């Protein structure tokens, strides 16, 4: 089995952080979102992966090759951001067997064993999450047996609450790419994009049965507020704690927090839901629901619901703050 990971997006909802860091490499609880997915794929035994790259491609490729040297990676440039079907079409020359397609927008807990145990009558699996705010998602309408009937983007009426989360196992790769080619030939949608879900619809219309399966857990990291919520979940789930190499002096620590090696906290109130990455200094600060990148310096900062980039310097600033790496912010 091979995997295809579309990584070309600009991550506009996470600006300014994605001006200098590819969205999949933004960290949640001290670990890039992409790393959670790659670790799962390697544990499943997937070694060969196709990465569709674009925005900040050099940084993306360098990180993968440095952190995951054992992956047999193929990098394909998506020069035109023409949608998910356009991205997957670029992977076709490298795929000659069953495949997983994973969009790195969230941290997932999934029963990947379904790939091996799937009955032969099914052509694939679409994983889904039941949500209440169905209007925000593409939702999967199912048949009585739980197979996919169709996917509807952001419906106004509650025709389904099963959100399409961007994780797919496809056994019939030939029919998938036939559907992708059909989608591209049919013309772009209203936003000028081609959608992978139309290729799945092509498969269903040509007799394929695609199972809809629930995820065990799905924690979105595609916007600042959901990234912070996911950070909170992961800190509670075991990625929190104070590294022995961190220094805490005259400070109140309210769990859950993650203080990495080299962090120095003095005269501060830290937490809940705070991650301070390696080497960061927080002096005289009050921080809650905040993620701070490595080697930042915060002095007299009173922040909530904030994401501060690495090597930033923030002094005497209060409120919510979203600033990228190497930023300098000084209050009165």
Where does the pLDDT of residue 260 fall: very low under 50, low under 70, confident under 90, or very high at 90 and above? very high
pLDDT of residue 299: 97
Beta-carbon-side half-sphere exposure of residue 180 (alpha carbons within 13 Å): 19
- Please report the pLDDT score of residue 135 as a whole number: 67
Domains, the chain, ranges and CATH? 2-220 (3.90.550.10), 240-330 (2.160.10.10)
Band of the pLDDT at 138, cuts 50, 70, 90?
A: confident
pLDDT at position 226, please?
Answer: 92
| The pLDDT value given to residue 321 | 95
Cβ proximity of 166 and 105 under 8 Å: yes
pTM more than 0.75: yes
């Amino acid at each position: 089995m091979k995997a295809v990971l579309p990584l070309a997006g600009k991550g506009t909802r996470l600006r300014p952080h994605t001006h200098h860091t590819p969205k999949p490499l933004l960290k949640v609880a001290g670990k890039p979102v992409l790393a959670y997915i790659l670790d799962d794929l390697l544990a499943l035994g997937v070694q060969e992966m196709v990465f569709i790259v674009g925005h900040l491609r050099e940084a993306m490729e360098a990180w993968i090759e440095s952190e995951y040297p054992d992956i047999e990676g193929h990098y394909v440039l998506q020069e035109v951001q023409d949608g998910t079907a356009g991205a997957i079409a670029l992977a076709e020359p490298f795929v000659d067997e069953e495949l997983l397609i994973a969009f790195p927008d969230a941290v997932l807990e999934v029963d990947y064993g379904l790939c091996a145990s799937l009955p032969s009558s099914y052509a694939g699996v679409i994983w889904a999450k039941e949500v209440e705010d169905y209007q925000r998602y593409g939702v999967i309408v199912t048949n009585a047996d739980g197979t996919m009937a169709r996917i509807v983007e952001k419906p106004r009426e509650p025709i389904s609450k099963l959100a399409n989360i961007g994780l797919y196992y496809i056994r019939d790769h030939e029919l998938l790419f036939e559907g992708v080619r059909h989608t591209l030939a049919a013309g772009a949608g209203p936003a000028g994009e081609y959608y992978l879900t139309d290729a799945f619809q092509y498969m269903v219309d040509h007799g394929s049965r695609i199972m809809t399966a629930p995820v065990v857990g799905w924690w979105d990291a595609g916007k600042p507020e959901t990234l912070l919520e996911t950070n909170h979940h992961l800190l509670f789930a075991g990625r929190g704690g104070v590294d022995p190499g961190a220094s805490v002096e005259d400070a109140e620590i309210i769990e859950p927090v993650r203080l990495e090696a080299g962090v120095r906290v003095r005269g501060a109130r830290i937490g809940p839901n705070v991650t301070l990455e390696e080497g960061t200094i927080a002096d005289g600060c009050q921080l809650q629901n905040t993620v701070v990148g490595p080697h930042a310096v915060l002095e007299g900062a009173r922040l909530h619901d904030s994401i501060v980039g690495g090597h930033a310097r923030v002094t005497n600033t209060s409120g919510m703050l979203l600033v990228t790496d190497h930023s300098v912010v000084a209050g009165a």
